[in-house]
Amino acid sequence: MKRREFITLLGGAAAAWPLAARAQQPAMPVVAFMSARSPETSMDLLAAFRRGLAENGFVEGQNVAIEVRWARGEYDSVAAMAADLASRRVAVIAVAGSPVASAAKAATTTIPIVFTVAVDPVEAGLVASLNRPGGNLTGMTTLGVEVGPKRLELLRELIPTATIVAALVNPTNSNAETQSRDLEATARTLGLQIQVLHASTDRDLDAAFAILGQLHPGGLVIGADLFLTSRIEQLAALALRYSVPAIFQYRQFVSSGGLMSYGTSPADSYHQMGVYTGRILKGEKPANLPVQQATKVELIINLRTAKALGLTIPPALLARADEMIE
């Protein structure tokens, strides 16, 4: 063999070595991330999820891939989305929102699922128990539906002269009836009349606030729901336009111009969802990871919006606020 031919052959073999080495490396695991929210209002939550993964040594693009899906509060689409992700045989499915968690559970009994939901996951049929979930699901539960009546109490404390209040609930949410019933019971205890309005589309939102403009309630409680959360800036703007003192679950409502929020931090639950996903990627089983419960709630008040609405915040309420936005 001539010297030039030998060098060419050697060079070709060397070029093939990296390809062969890469072929022998294990495939990068794929995590499916599916939220019922909209990306426009939730990129910070996806970042919190990534931080949780990174704490367990998994960095997107380096040793893990993430397939992201947003349902945008459209519950009719979640079953197909979950089925599609399950068919891809991903390593873990991380889901946010009880409709998405239920759809994921129906789509697979073998792929590990980590959820964050604002309902009791045992009552929702997601797990057998909080301490011993069993099956292929585990995750976090936040205080969403449970603190709805407390939001009504806070509104009454802010506006003690109110006699009529309103609630906004998505009727397509599986918890709509529970939310409405609890709020109605609390209203009776407080001596208030309550008007429950429904909205599951943008057109419904406009119609509901038109009714509020005629009703002139003392305040509005916005129900825990991911369609409503996906319209959080729109809700804040509508409440201000119709001069309705409103309270919602998330801080973002207040930072967008809403009056008050009372609830847990969604970033904390998304972060913990990432932590659990990383632990499962390392080999732990969902059945052995107890469901974690959020216990810390925050009261946040927008003082500028209160002034625009002509409201004076009682000193006792100000003293209990975790944050005031001016």
Same fold, 30-142+265-293 and 148-263+298-325: yes
CATH class of 30-142+265-293: alpha beta
Domain 148-263+298-325 indexed as CATH 3.40.50.2300:
yes
DSSP class of residue 64 equals: B
Of residues 157, 220, 149, the one with CA closest to residue 182: 149
* Domain limits, the chain: 30-142+265-293, 148-263+298-325
- Kindly state the tokens that stand for 89: 């045989």
- pTM of the predicted protein model: 0.74
Per-residue pLDDT of the chain (326 residues; tens, 9 = 90+): 444 444 444 444 444 444 444 444 458 899 999 988 888 878 889 999 999 999 999 999 999 999 999 988 787 888 999 999 999 889 999 999 888 999 999 999 999 999 999 888 998 899 999 999 989 999 999 866 667 889 999 999 999 999 999 999 999 887 788 889 999 999 999 999 999 999 999 999 999 999 999 999 999 999 988 789 888 999 999 999 999 999 998 888 999 999 999 988 888 899 999 999 999 999 999 999 999 988 788 999 999 999 999 999 999 999 999 999 98
Contacts of 240 (CB under 8 A, 6+ apart): 257, 258, 305, 308, 309
Cβ–Cβ < 8 Å for 69, 33: yes
Sheet (strand 298-302) strand order: 193-198, 164-169, 220-222, 246-248, 260-263, 298-302, 323-325
Q: Are strands 220-222 and 260-263 parallel, antiparallel or unpaired?
A: unpaired
CA dist., res. 314 & res. 265, Å (int): 24
